[in-house]
Every structure is written in structure tokens, then in C-alpha cells.
Amino acid sequence: MKRTKPRKRSLLVVVAFLVAATVLGLLIFQKYRSSRELPVTRPEPRPTGMFRVTLFFATPDAEGLAREGREVGACDNLPGCVQEVVGELVNGPVGELQPTLPPSAVVRGVRIEGDTAVIDFGKELVAGLPGGSSAEMAAVYSVVDTVCLNFPQIKGVRFLVEGKGVDTLVGHLDLRQPLAPDYTLEQNDEKVVKP
């Protein structure tokens, strides 16, 4: 009887070893096989989280532009990022600054041509802007300065309305060519306003 117990134990150890070796072998084979299969579509990393941007709005006295910091959701391509940031300008400031774009303005699309962002607004932008050169200048340069500051690879902004180039928004500022940023409109004594 003493002989059968070690024999059963030995047999049990051998069986356990064979089961473990089989499972391990199948796992290794599966890993090898899956490493040799080509994916049907190439996975693209998606950004996650938030990033901080600087937006330009009108000062409370409407004498220039001032900065406001804002957190926005991560985006996956430059035109989409620009569109999201300009959309935040349309949403308006959260602090004491004044909006530069009408809340009804619609950003129809953004495309990048070299180092220029071409931003297509809906007709609501023109319809909602008050008359006057200072309102037009604040609207245009809040967009241009915001885009160029947050995306340094962009050196200028071209405006479209309903997919077409425009000479001006309300009759004062020449928009036939892309505009470079003009940070001289910023009130230097204003600090970045954090929401």
C-alpha cells in the first residue's frame, strides 16, 4: 500500500505538468498566431483629456482685446482643433470680458492651406455683427489672434462666409487676403482671465 501512494502522486504530478504545459503551449501558440495576423484597419491613437487655450475677447470698455484662458476637449486633427477653439469664441467669455462674435455665429468648417487657416462662417456672423469699424476689427482679430496664438504653425487666417470669399464683414476691414495676427490690439494692463 505504501507503494501505490507515491505512484499516484507521481502520476498526479505528471498529469498536472502535462495540463500546465498544454495550456502554456496553447497560449504561446495563440500569441504567435495573433502577432502574424495583419490588422484590417490601422488603429489611430485618439487624444484624450483637455488642453488649455487662450481666447481673445473685447475688454469691458471695448477699447481693445484681452485674453481669457479656457479648457477645451482634446481633438484629433488641426482643422477640428481650430474649429473647436473658434467655437469657444462664439460661446463668449465667462468672465468680465465682452463677446466679439455674435452667439448665433456658426463655424461651418475649417481647412488648412499651407500656413493659413481658412475658416468658413455661416451668414449669421455678418447678420449678428453690430455696425462700426471697432466691432468688426474686434471680431476679426479675436479670431485671427486666437487661432495664431494657439496654433503657432498657422501664420494667418482667411475668412469665408457661406463658402465664399468676402471683401469685408460689415464694410470696414479688407478680408480679401489672409490676415496675420495683430497683438497690438491687446490691452497690456489686462491679465489672462481664468474662468
Could you report the per-residue pLDDT of 12-69, keeping only the tens digit for each?
888 888 888 888 887 777 665 644 444 444 444 445 678 899 999 999 998 999 999 9
What is the model's pLDDT at position 67? 95
What is the model's pLDDT at position 107? 97
Residues of the chain with pLDDT under 50: 1, 34-46, 190-195
Read off the C-alpha cell for 179.
490676415
What is the model's pLDDT at position 1? 46
**Percentage above 70 pLDDT, the chain:** 84
Name the residue among 180, 156, 165 with its Cα closest to residue 120.
165
Task: Tell me the C-alpha to C-alpha distance, in Å, between residue 94 and each of 91, 112, 145.
Answer: 9, 29, 19
Q: How far apart are CA 130 and CA 187, in angstroms?
A: 22
Positive or negative: CA dihedral 52, 58, 60, 61:
positive
3-state SS track over 120-170: EECCHHHHHCCCCHHHHHHHHHHHHHHHHHHCCCCCEEEEEECCEECCCCC
What is the model's pLDDT at position 193? 47
